[in-house]
Homo-oligomer: A and B are copies of this chain.
Amino acid sequence: MLQSRWSQANSLLCVGLDPDLTRLPAHLAGRDDAIYEFCRQIVDATHDLACAFKPQIAYFSSLRAEDQLEALIAYIKTRYPDLPVILDAKRGDIGSTAEHYAREAYERYGAHAVTLSPYMGHDSVTPYLQYPDKGAIILCRTSNPGGSDLQALPVRSTPLYLHVARLVAEQWNSNGQCGLVVGATYPQELAEVRAVVGDLPLLVPGIGAQGGDIEASVRAGRTASGQGMMINSSRAILYAGKGEDFALEARRVALETRDAINLSR
- Give me the interface of A with B, judged by CB distance under 8 Å: 18, 20, 56, 58-59, 61-62, 64, 66, 90-98, 100-101, 103-104, 107-108, 117-125, 139, 142-151, 153-156, 160, 163-164, 167, 210, 235
A-B contact list, 7 entries, CB within 8 Å: A59-B97, A62-B100, A62-B107, A62-B108, A124-B146, A125-B146, A155-B155
Question: Besides A18-B96, A64-B108, 7 other CB < 8 A contacts?
Answer: A56-B100, A59-B100, A61-B66, A61-B101, A94-B143, A119-B151, A153-B155
Q: A121-B147, A150-B163 are in contact. Are A97 and B18 (CB under 8 A)?
A: yes
A145 vs B98: C-alpha distance when bound (angstroms): 14
Q: Using CB atoms, name the residue of chain B closest to A103.
A: B62
User: Is B90's CB under 8 angstroms from A142's CB?
Assistant: no
A103 vs B155: C-alpha distance when bound (angstroms): 35
Copies in the complex: 2
Q: Using CB atoms, name the residue of chain B closest to A115.
A: B93
Q: Using CB atoms, name the residue of chain B closest to A70.
A: B64
A143 vs B18: C-alpha distance when bound (angstroms): 33
Q: How far is the CB of A148 from chain B (nearest CB, A)?
A: 7
Q: A62-B100, A66-B66, A92-B90 are in contact. Are A160 and B150 (CB under 8 A)?
A: yes
Q: Using CB atoms, name the residue of chain B closest to A118.
A: B150
Nearest 5 Cβ contacts at the A-B interface: A121-B146, A121-B149, A58-B100, A62-B100, A122-B146
